[in-house]
Amino acid sequence: MTALQLVLNTLPQLTRANVALRSTEELGFTLASQEAEDVSLLNTASQAWQSLELKSISHTYHREGENSDFVLGPIDLSFKPGELVFITGGNGSGKTTLIKLLTGLYTSERGHISLDGRQIDAFSREHYRQYFSVVFSDFYLFEQMLGLIGSDLDEQARAYLSQLKLSHKVDIANGRLSTIELSQGQRKRLALLTAYLENRPIYIFDEWAADQDPYFKGVFYLQLLPELKARGKTIFVISHDDRYYQVADRIIKLDDGQVVSDTRNTMEQAALGTAN
Ligand SMILES: Nc1ncnc2c1ncn2[C@@H]1O[C@H](COP(=O)(O)OP(=O)(O)OP(=O)(O)O)[C@@H](O)[C@H]1O
Ligand SMILES: [Mg+2]
């Protein structure tokens, strides 16, 4: 009776789980059809850009039951193509929020973003988002490569899988990964694979290297990032790995929602950075 009772008690939870699973799957399908359109949007447009400007952008999180809100900004920054920018700062300083604004996932309360002098508005936002490939720290992996097209997709993916030291674990056929049941660090590498295949002009990695072993951290900062830069990509890296700060062209530091420093990396500063 006890065992039976246990099974009966679990049934509602299973039903709920089933519904949630189905919704997730449906989400996958809608994303697939949605992204296919978006990708063609960017393919028809030129991927080249000259200037990206954030003008007095800000975001406020209203915290229920607390007196103080978290306010990011107002922030003014401008970027050029091909820059390798590190965004640093303590936990809760607003790094992730800044990139959500930068990528157009959050709309700024005030100010605006301009790409090549054109202000991003409700009409151009979806197109603007297609310039970015982002791996957030709370990323989600799909087995099916969504929204990617190309006859040599599998082949390209295999080359990247080997570069990411995953070929012995994962294979790809018809744009579908053989497995995503991997360790956290390996799953993050798969997220990077997707970003690579998307091949957008601007890459953003939110603490990507945090779960990587020391060896692969080195591969990421000293090999993968310079390679992406050599391919002409603009890269934003949110990072706490100060021993690799010398790789950056530019380091932007946030504190409590404000930009407290924005420095070009020179050799001297690099030496200081590693000494700290
Ligand atoms: N969804 C949210 N709702 C309310 N407040 C939030 C939300 N997300 C973040 N915050 C608050 O905004 C502040 C900045 O968060 P954010 O995630 O941008 O920081 P971060 O610099 O990326 O930190 P970490 O290094 O821990 O990733 C934090 O104080 C956090 O409490
Ligand atoms: Mg963050």
Cα gap 148→178, rounded to integer Å: 17
What is the CATH code for 45-275?
A: 3.40.50.300
Closest C-alpha among 130, 171, 148 to residue 46: 130
CA geometry: angle at 92 spanning 27 and 236, to 5°?
65
Cα gap 202→145, rounded to integer Å: 19
Q: Quote the pLDDT of residue 268.
A: 45
The ligand 1 atom at the shortest distance from the C-alpha of residue 137 is 27
Q: Quote the pLDDT of residue 44.
A: 43
Asked if residue 63 has its Cβ within 6 Å of ligand 1, the reply is yes
Q: Quote the pLDDT of residue 275.
A: 44
The ligand 1 atom at the shortest distance from the C-alpha of residue 207 is 27
At 198, phi and psi to the nearest 5? Answer: -65, -30
Choose which residue among 59, 61, 98, 137 to substitute to test ligand 1 binding: the one with the highest number of ligand atoms within 8 A of its C-beta. Answer: 61
Q: Quote the pLDDT of residue 31.
A: 56
CA geometry: angle at 200 spanning 257 and 27, to 5°?
80
Tell me the CA distances in angstroms from 114 to 67, 117, 118, 128, 196, one per residue in order: 33, 5, 5, 10, 25
Ligand lying nearest the CA atom of residue 100: 1
* Local structure of 109: helix, strand or coil: coil
Asked if residue 93 has its Cβ within 6 Å of ligand 1, the reply is yes
Report domain extents, the chain.
45-275
Q: Quote the pLDDT of residue 38.
A: 52
Model's pTM, two decimal places?
0.82
Question: What is the pairing mode between strands 70-79 and 52-61?
Answer: antiparallel
pLDDT in 10s for each residue of the chain, 276 residues: 999 999 999 999 999 999 998 888 777 655 555 555 555 455 544 578 999 999 999 999 987 777 788 999 899 999 999 999 999 999 999 999 999 999 999 999 999 999 999 999 988 998 999 999 999 998 888 888 777 767 788 888 888 899 898 989 888 888 888 888 889 999 999 999 888 888 899 999 999 999 899 999 999 999 999 999 999 999 999 999 999 999 999 999 999 999 999 999 875 455 544 444
